[in-house]
Amino acid sequence: MEECFSLQEILEVTGGRIINIPENKKILIHPSQICTDTRVIKKGDFFIALKGEHFDGNDFIDDACSKGAEGAIVNKLFLPSCNNFFVVQVDDTLRAFQELAKFYRQKLSIPLIAVTGSNGKTTVKELIAHILSNRYLTSKSSGNFNNQIGVPLSILRLSSRDEVGVLELGMNQRGEIENLSRIVQPDIGVITNVHRSHPGMVGSISEIAQAKAEMIPFLNRNRNNYLIINGDSPWSGFFRNQAKCRVLTFGMENKANLVARNIQDEGERIKFDLVSVKGESISITLPFPGLFNIYNTLAASAVCLLFGISLEEIKKAVENFSPPPLRCQIKRYGKYKILDDCYNANPDSMKMALYVLRNLKGGRKIAVLGDMLELGEYSPSLHTFVGELVASLKLDALFALGRFAPYMVAGAKKEGLKQAFCFEDKQELLEKLLNYVNCEDWLLVKGSRETKMEEVIKGLKNQ
């Protein structure tokens, strides 16, 4: 029961006060029993009443109690109607939740790997876990559990039986990476890249780089920790100069510790030689498209080499890896050939996906693009840029959806693309697309998460 939280520990870690406890009740809460959602709560769980933009967990205490929860952390005075239910009151339930995760992380002796960056975080995290799991008992954060709630939950799902943990750190405001790193206390940190992912919420690309660098002081607490960065990035020197821990670099262009050479883009797959700092080399074929996936593979490989994984083991694992859902996946439904990159979008990831579309073999190339969000005042100019890029790459058509679609279409037409169409309604776009597409055409479908562009793919599939 060493992993469990006692009532005394819960009170000390959260700074809370007990406002209800049944007599003669011994309280031991296992980290895996901590739950933030009464829809999935089970008997014996411990509920944290978080407050969100559209909900207040304090309103669901009775629900947690009726479903057999042991107790709850609240920030409002609450006396439960059911017996045998204890309540701890705190000022800030999110902070209390995060402090419990941090306390539990300090109990664990396993190395933790933290992955952040503007693009590729989830793919790199999944790829690291995929490679390491062939030799180590590896735990990873689920899906994109990378925010102020998802990261603590991921830590609380770790077990002392695990040999390594891989976590993803996301952000859309300054200070978020700092707080997540404070909780995680990573032993290895990966910064995949710095792109224009949240300029409307964070600011300039320089400020985005500063936000990613918030992880570095927590790596510096031990000089034997590692920071892994993209050596081809113009920000690599900025990150390196802040690091007092060890630094490893990966890249394609500049001298790095791990490099890709002899790159061959074959459209639906990529071939390259992976060359280590020792000069050892192995040929790898990525069974998925996109030159950017070479960077993702290099970042993951750099981590795995630190754990003694051989180049042969890396090759075998990488060549049997499938990208996470909605991330540059090739799908075929009847006559439709689709590059599904619907998960999210920013100007740089749009650019990379459009290059992948251009390099696919056969048929017309059609870009079906939704809005890019969180760009603030930069939204009109950056959507115009994407439209111009569609035209300059000599793609055959643009179907743009959303509030900023007119800017994309205007940019495309300005650069000479006649087949550029603007839509406010997804169903209207789908109807036009169904009449437009021919057999052997390639369709890139992409947009920010809130646009749910996968619904377009579902519509095509249903046809």
pLDDT digits (tens, 9 = 90+) for 26-63: 899 999 999 999 999 999 999 999 998 888 999 999 89
Assigned fold of 329-462:
Protein-Tyrosine Phosphatase; Chain A (3.90.190)
CATH fit for domain 5-99, picks 3.40.50.300, 3.40.50.2020, 3.40.1390.10, 2.60.120.10: 3.40.1390.10
pLDDT at residue 83 above 80? Answer: no
pLDDT surpasses 60 at 1: no
Q: Which residues contact 416 (CB under 8 A, 6 or more apart)?
A: 391
* Residue linked to tokens 């992948």: 356
Give the DSSP H or E segment for 239: helix 236-242
Amino acid 198: pLDDT: 57
What is the residue-averaged pLDDT of the chain? Answer: 94
Give percent of the chain above pLDDT 90.
84
Task: Tell me the sheet residues that pair with 249.
Answer: 229
Tens digits of residue pLDDT in 275-285: 998 889 999 99
- Considering the chain, what percentage of its residues have pLDDT values greater than 70? 98
| Bridge partner list, 28 | 6
Q: What is the pLDDT of residues 84-116, one digit of tens each?
A: 889 999 999 999 999 999 999 999 999 999 999
Q: Higher confidence at residue 254 or residue 179?
A: 179
Pairing mode of beta strands 258-265, 270-275? antiparallel
* Separation CA 100–CA 72 (nearest Å): 13
**Per-residue confidence band for 197, with pLDDT thresholds at 50, 70 and 90:** low
Task: Give the model's confidence band at 362: pLDDT under 50 very low, under 70 low, under 90 confident, else very high.
Answer: confident
Q: Which fold has domain 108-318?
A: UDP-N-acetylmuramoyl-L-alanine:D-glutamate ligase (3.40.1190)
pLDDT confidence of residue 23: 75
Position 409 pLDDT exceeds 80: yes
Return the sign of the alpha-carbon dihedral for residues 362, 366, 372, 378.
positive
Give me the pLDDT at residue 254, please.
76
Per domain, the residue ranges of the chain are 5-99, 108-318, 329-462
Across residues 440-447, what is the average pLDDT?
96
The predicted-structure confidence for 146-171, as pLDDT tens digits, reads as follows: 999 999 999 999 998 999 999 999 99
Do residues 29 and 10 make contact, with C-beta atoms less than 8 angstroms apart? yes
